[in-house]
Amino acid sequence: MAVTPLNTTGTINTGSGAASTNPQAYFDRLLLELLVQTEFMHAKFAQERDLPKHGGNTVNFRKIVALKPELTPLTEGVTPEGLTASLEAITVSTKQYGDWLAFTDMVDVTQLDPIIKEYTVELARMAREKLDLITRDELNAGTNAFFANGKTSRVLLAAGDKPTVDDLRRIVLGMKERHVKPASGDRYVAFITPAVSFDLMDDPKFMKAYEIAQNGTPFIKGEIADIYGIKFVELVNAKVFAGEGAAGIDVHSTLVIGRKPYGVTKIKGEGVQTIIKALGSSGVADPLNQRQSIGYKINAYAVKRLYEEAIVRYESVPSNA
């Protein structure tokens, strides 16, 4: 495998002895800490389930099918037929994720080299984003969709089909009518793109409510407003369906979330592993000790929609996108 050298200077070290093992623990702690302290938001309102070690790679989420109230009054002395309990199982299998970077012998992996440290930080950032995008795409694959300006499908959306606060209020109204609980407290949450946020700030109804509630304290990172029972959270990674609207226009997705409508799972105790391959660790494949690498592996991760009625994908075409 050809490796492009980095334009940097550093000591040459074969990675033998104690000096090659001590930094491994340091890099493990660094990567894990950064992954926990994530700034990405798509998984925030998930139900979290851990699989036990050696328990396979599949988890069944079970949900109770809602009971419907019977309005017929009792007849004296007559026992009614009774209700039927029903559970629905939703199965999801975990998958492994990971990536790596190669370096030449001009960069020292086994010591705390600043270049390696910075790339370890970048790998951690990329790992967080990868999990965020996997979660985002699962949420956006749902069947519950609402389109701006009365349109009935994505391919019909065109310039002028801007996002409006009235559309979002209708979505929340529909959730309430289906008895969907709010995401947090008494508030639903809307994940919006920066372009959707820009247009909403031009909506008179949005701004009027925003000015009234501007003294409220945000409880979510990235929250721009708490109005009409909705927390509006701006996400740079929010989904954009590039070129999928009319005449190839970009369509922006807004996810309106109710109470824990999706689940994420991992294997208990199996988090992120940092993998450092020192100079010469490839044996005869690296006879001159010229190649080394750092990488990470996420041993198990899965995300699954559980309640379609509690995830609504609102599609629109912002005027400034």
Is it the case that residue 240 has pLDDT exceeding 50? yes
The arithmetic mean of pLDDT across residues 119-131, rounded, is 84
| Rounded CA separation 44/223 (Å) | 13
CB contact burial 239-264 (16+ within 10 A = b; e otherwise):
bbbeeebbeebbbbbbbbbbbbbbbb
**pTM listed for this prediction:** 0.81
Among residues 313, 316, 312, 311, the alpha carbon closest in space to that of 196 is found at: 316
C-alpha torsion sign, points 137, 303, 119, 293: negative
The arithmetic mean of pLDDT across residues 190-204, rounded, is 94
- Residue 60 has a pLDDT of 83
Among residues 259, 265, 260, 272, the alpha carbon closest in space to that of 299 is found at: 272
| Rounded CA separation 106/13 (Å) | 9
Q: In this prediction, what percent of the chain has a pLDDT beyond 70?
A: 82
Structure tokens at 86: 């029903």
pLDDT tens-place string over residues 6-18: 433 333 333 444 4
The arithmetic mean of pLDDT across residues 213-230, rounded, is 75
The percent helix, strand, coil of the chain (3-state, each to 5) is 30, 30, 45
pLDDT tens-place string over residues 64-103: 777 888 888 989 999 988 888 888 888 888 899 999 888 8
Answer with the residue of higher pLDDT: 277 or 149.
Answer: 149
pLDDT-wise least confident of 15-19, 99-103, 252-256, 270-274:
15-19
Concatenating the DSSP letter of every residue in 190-218 gives: EEE-HHHHHHHTT-HHHHHHHHHHTTSPP
Concatenating the DSSP letter of every residue in 213-242 gives: HTTSPP-STTEEEEETTEEEEE-TT--EET
Contact 209, 119 (CB under 8 A): no
Among residues 122, 130, 120, the alpha carbon closest in space to that of 98 is found at: 130
Query: pLDDT averaged over the chain?
Result: 83
| Rounded CA separation 192/189 (Å) | 10
